[in-house]
Chains A and B, each alone.
Chain A
Amino acid sequence: MSVKDNAVPAKVLVTKIGLDGHDRGSRVVAAYLRDAGMEVIYTGPWQRIPAVVALTQEEDVDVVGISSLATDHLIVPKLVRALEEAGLAHVRVVVGGIVPDDEVATLQERGVSKVFHPGSSREEIVATVQRLAQEARRERPEI
């Protein structure tokens, strides 16, 4: 591993799938990550899963963050599977928003790396995303 590895900023896609159109939360998180030195691709709400997969591939991001206020998190496992099928199994998926406790375990069993709740601190979000990005980098093929 070269010294450069730490110099390259983590690349994160912050997006929303499903029907809920509130994107204040994702804007705030995008700003947190930017201020921590990361490069954030930001999209508006209502993304289709194939579009999220295409973006993840084209932009070669390390982490995909899905913001969910309503029940949109229920389709995240579908996204995880679609990423795997597209050869992007190294990409870490995190969910932020209101997710009932009993569903958190289900999400994690289905490949979601972390669920952030409304009370999650900026520090926690930044440190976790940073760590997950490094994990993803280690697993992804170079070219």
Chain B
Amino acid sequence: MSDVSTAVDRLVGGDKATLARALTAVENARPQARELLAALQQHTGGAHVVGVTGAPGVGKSTLCNALIREWRARGRRVGVIAVDPSSPLTGGAVLGDRVRMHEHDEDDGVFIRSLAARSNAGGLAASTTDVITVLDAAGMDCVLVETVGTGQSEVDIARTVRSTVVVSAPGLGDDVQAIKAGILEVADVLVVNKADLPHAEQCARQLRAMLSLREVRAWQPPVIMTSAQTDQGLQDLADALQRHNDESNVEDAAHGSIAFADWPQRLLPRDRFAQHLGIELLAGGGGHASVRMRVQAEHISFNGTCHGGVTFSLADTAFGLASNSHGVVAAAIDAHITYPRAVRINDTLTASAVEESRGRRFATYRVIVTRTDGATVATFTGTVAIIGDKQNRDSQK
């Protein structure tokens, strides 16, 4: 095996040392970087890439720190790219953004990399896209890119990431006037930070007024007031980003960049628990999904048979893939299981989920789990709430 394919295996397997060296290789455009990036492509697409930009001092780093904390509470693995300008004279840089993210230094679920913009005048390092690719392939659920707003950089970042957060704050001279119309155009979410200070509400009102002058679009950027100091608004921000990502996924699907039929194939590799159990996909799409796993020694309960939670997990995985196979995010709200027969070690279990009904807001599924000999070992029913955007779904028909 070549150095590169060994590195890819290690990186995708979550090895931090390899990740760190791979980032350096792409940042410095080392000879292996092209080959490495090409090999990593097939492992990308799982991360939600979010850009955070705004004028110096609005609290971007502090806000990123709080957002990381919120994402960690939601169980996400987070990669962070903190970009700082390089000195145009010497090429050197002091990279200090991560000082404010210090509380995550020892968390294995957070990987922070500081990047100097080097000679790129726009404020975004030339290697940013490649660095995102590497973090995405390394299994990050969220990749956060922090850059200082320079006018050009907001547009550059919006092109590079999925969701762009433009941050402003009260008490910085011109307040909202500092947010130029062009910046509003690229914002997917507008944040008024330092909501604990006077005039924050006024700042938010002005932004909403400016937004109301724009033509109506499928996605209307929300204006969210946050305090990175008190954590006010951080859940709202994480929720808004999640909604934007879900809707962008729907749009991608509508534009054919991701076929609906591929959806379960794309989702399963991102399901870390299903990966852990060794669940494989047999078929999926259009409201149904079939998955399979083999019962191993570690799945056995004190009665010497397969633990009910394992069978449930397999059924639940089929349910999740089937209910999300339309490309619109669906969240389980109820499930019930019956176990007519026992399962033993080395049995291969197959779970097949079918859609029983699907309305505008809810859908129900029935899952049958069978053993190697074809006998039914569990029947499962589940309901999901459809939380993807209704308008988009309707307009696709």
Residue from the set A34, A44, A57 with the largest chain B CB neighbour count within 10 Å? A34
Tell me the bound Cα distance from A44 to B29 in angstroms.
30
Contact B112 A58 (CB under 8 A): yes
Tell me the bound Cα distance from A24 to B297 in angstroms.
59
Q: Which of A21-52 contact B (CB under 8 A)?
A: 30-31, 33-44, 47-48, 50-51
Whether a CB of chain B sits under 8 angstroms from the CB of A142 is yes
- Tell which of A34, A86, A143 touches B7, judged by Cβ atoms closer than 8 Å: A143
Contact B106 A143 (CB under 8 A): no
The stretch from A1-9, A74-82, A92-100, A103-111 touching chain B is: A1-9
Whether a CB of chain B sits under 8 angstroms from the CB of A55 is yes
Contact A43 B99 (CB under 8 A): yes
Known contacts A44-B99, A54-B105, A55-B105, A60 near B24 by CB under 8 Å: yes
Whether a CB of chain A sits under 8 angstroms from the CB of B129 is no
Q: Which residues of B contact A41 (CB under 8 A)?
A: 95-96, 98, 114
Q: Which residues of B contact A48 (CB under 8 A)?
A: 106
Q: Which of B8-59 contact A (CB under 8 A)?
A: 16-18, 20-25, 28-32, 36
Q: Which residues of A contact B112 (CB under 8 A)?
A: 58-59
Whether a CB of chain A sits under 8 angstroms from the CB of B91 is yes
Tell me the bound Cα distance from A9 to B105 in angstroms.
24
Residue count of chain A within 8 Å CB distance of chain B = 34
A-B contact count (CB 8 A): 95
Tell me the bound Cα distance from A48 to B106 in angstroms.
9
Contact B106 A142 (CB under 8 A): no
Known contacts A34-B93, A57-B16, A87-B17, A142 near B102 by CB under 8 Å: no
Whether a CB of chain A sits under 8 angstroms from the CB of B116 is yes
Contact B28 A43 (CB under 8 A): no
Whether a CB of chain A sits under 8 angstroms from the CB of B3 is yes
Whether a CB of chain A sits under 8 angstroms from the CB of B111 is yes
Contact B16 A58 (CB under 8 A): yes
Contact A142 B99 (CB under 8 A): no
Whether a CB of chain B sits under 8 angstroms from the CB of A119 is no
Whether a CB of chain A sits under 8 angstroms from the CB of B87 is yes
Residue count of chain B within 8 Å CB distance of chain A = 37
Tell me the bound Cα distance from A57 to B106 in angstroms.
11
Residue from the set A33, A47, A57, A58 with the largest chain B CB neighbour count within 10 Å? A58
Tell me the bound Cα distance from A141 to B116 in angstroms.
22
- Tell which of A8, A59, A140 touches B28, judged by Cβ atoms closer than 8 Å: A8
Contact B92 A39 (CB under 8 A): yes
B10 to chain A, nearest CB (A): 9
Contact B18 A30 (CB under 8 A): no
Contact B23 A60 (CB under 8 A): yes
Tell me the bound Cα distance from A143 to B5 in angstroms.
10
Contact B7 A35 (CB under 8 A): no
Contact B93 A60 (CB under 8 A): no
Contact A51 B102 (CB under 8 A): yes
Contact B102 A43 (CB under 8 A): yes
Contact B102 A34 (CB under 8 A): no
Contact B92 A9 (CB under 8 A): yes
- Tell which of B21, B23, B93, B106 touches A39, judged by Cβ atoms closer than 8 Å: B93
Whether a CB of chain A sits under 8 angstroms from the CB of B344 is no
B103 to chain A, nearest CB (A): 10
Contact A36 B94 (CB under 8 A): no
- Tell which of B29, B86, B90, B111 touches A36, judged by Cβ atoms closer than 8 Å: B90
Tell me the bound Cα distance from A20 to B376 in angstroms.
67
Whether a CB of chain A sits under 8 angstroms from the CB of B300 is no
Contact B93 A43 (CB under 8 A): no
Contact B105 A60 (CB under 8 A): no
| A contacts, CB < 8 Å to B | 2, 4, 8-9, 30-31, 33-44, 47-48, 50-51, 54-55, 57-60, 86-87, 140-143
Q: List 24 A-B contacts (CB under 8 A).
A: A4-B28, A30-B94, A34-B90, A34-B93, A35-B92, A36-B90, A36-B92, A40-B92, A41-B96, A41-B98, A42-B99, A44-B99, A44-B102, A50-B106, A51-B102, A54-B105, A55-B98, A55-B105, A58-B16, A58-B20, A59-B20, A87-B17, A143-B18, A143-B22
| B contacts, CB < 8 Å to A | 3-4, 7, 16-18, 20-25, 28-32, 36, 86-87, 90-96, 98-99, 102, 105-106, 111-114, 116
Q: Which 6 A-B pairs have the closest CB atoms?
A: A34-B92, A51-B105, A143-B7, A60-B24, A37-B92, A60-B20
